[in-house]
Structure 1
Amino acid sequence: MSQSPLSEATDDRLSEMLFQGEEVEDEFTVEGARVAVTTHRVLVFTPDGDGRRFDHADRPNVLDANVETTGQDSYVEWGVRTGVYGAVLFGGGFLLKTSGILDQLGAANPPENTPETGVTELVSLLPKALGTLTTGLLVGGALLVLAALALVALYLSSRERELVIERAGDDPMRVPVRDDDAEDVARRLRAAVGTGSKPRSD
């Protein structure tokens, strides 16, 4: 994190966005983004960002400034669902395999006096069908559990720290940060704007 007065900055694109009579009171540079507190607004300029390159909020609408760790929550939701389904399937297959039902059915023989009917064929086919079902449950459950772990890994890789500037009536302004000084930037922003907010910890 570095502080650079706007009047001394080599890139004056942010200064071109000031209103007439608007003056910069404080400015910070964080991970390629420039955050300026003026007499009227809080300005965020990210010339190399993927989203909006310029955003702002009137000072009375700025509610808070904190550093948060965020990620793709949808990965967690799908990971939990997939993991639950996988555990249920794998558990069902494991119970069938360890219960001894398959062995009992395999050892069962129809009575000697029973004529060759569909009952005899059913008794002979049932162990094979249950064996196939058990294998399917075990394999399917294991694959779903692996998929759940992969989704959790994707969520962890998507996590990043952001400087979050909350504003009334609109979505917060978010700036990706990696500096250890990001908390200090948030604190100085709160002090400059006068929100009276307290830092949050994740």
Structure 2
Amino acid sequence: MPWADRVERLLYEGETCERRFDFGSGSESESAPTTLVVTSHRVLAFTPERDGANFRQVDRPNVDGVAVTTTGRSTYCWRALKLGLVGIGLLAVSAAVAFESLLSPASLESAGVDSSTPGMGGITGALAQIETMLAILDALILVGGLVTSAAALAFVGLSLRSRTRRLVLEVAGGDDVAVPIGGGDDGIVAVGELKRAIRPDPVDGRPPTNAEFDS
């Protein structure tokens, strides 16, 4: 049985559980199961299937706010940007310059090179080989631009797939607590419910004064 189902064993004397929020436990959810428990004293976060600590706790007075953020792997974005720039550059060169045409018959004639001129047969044969190599270079530049652009699009797709939504507890004087949540509306709903669960009870009928929890 996971610790999230044994919260009572982690409670201090006189501490009681007030609210529990489970995320990623549905059969269609892409998020690993995570749990937030609001007690009379603290907020307990259980993330056993995520990197880092399996459990974190925050005293309720130290919670400055609750928000939902979306993050992804920045390395995918950078790779997509770099490959995209290279691919666009190669395609632009391929469209603007045809290296093969530099040694075409018309170009050679304009330069005064004629294969019928005595002694020019061997030179024009070498130029024909160079022209073939330039044609291959043209093809390589075009293919390189297409392949690099396709790789950039692939990294864009990976970046989009790596994006996850997190419910973040903003902690005064400490590291924020981020809990992965699914892509539905549960996180948005949980923000309001968490704020109401974490803020102090009204005193003498007056609402709490902390602006983060007034909404």
1:88 and 1:126 mapped to 2: Cα distance? Answer: 24
Correspondence for 1:151 among 148, 155, 175: 155
1:36-185 equivalences under 5 Å are 36-47=37-48, 49-51=49-51, 52-97=53-98, 102-107=100-105, 108-109=108-109, 110=113, 115=119, 123-168=127-172, 169-185=174-190
The code of the aligned residue for 1:103 comes to S
Per-residue displacement from partner, 1:130-177 (whole Å, max 9, x unpaired)? 222211110111000010111111122222322222223214322323
Where in structure 2 are there 5+ consecutive unaligned residues?
Answer: 26-33, 200-209
Q: Quick one: which of 16, 19, 22 aligns to 2:9?
A: 16
**Which secondary structure state, in structure 2, belongs to the residue aligned with residue 197 of structure 1?**
helix
User: Amino acid of the residue matched to residue 57 of structure 1?
Assistant: V
SS at match of 1:129: helix
Runs ≥4 in structure 1, deviation > 4 angstroms?
Answer: 111-122
| In structure 2, C-alpha distance between the alignment counterparts of 1:127 and 1:196, rounded to whole Å | 74
- CA RMSD across the alignment: 2.8
Amino acid aligned to 1:50: R
CA distance in 1, matches of 2:56, 2:118: 84
Task: Supply the distance in 1 between the matched residues of 2:169 and 2:118 (Cα, whole angstroms).
Answer: 80
TM-score (norm 2): 0.71
| 1:170 counterpart SS class | coil
**TM-score, normalised by the number of residues in structure 1:** 0.75
Report how far residue 187 of structure 1 moved.
1.2
Q: Percent identity?
A: 33
| Number of residue pairs matched by the alignment | 184
Alignment partners' CA distance in 2, 1:173 and 1:57:
12
How far apart in 1 are the matches of 2:65 and 2:89? Answer: 44
The answer to whether the 8 A contact 1:190-1:196 is kept is no
- After superposition, the Cα gap between the structure-2 partners of 1:21 and 1:118, relative to the gap in structure 1 and judged at 3 Å, is farther
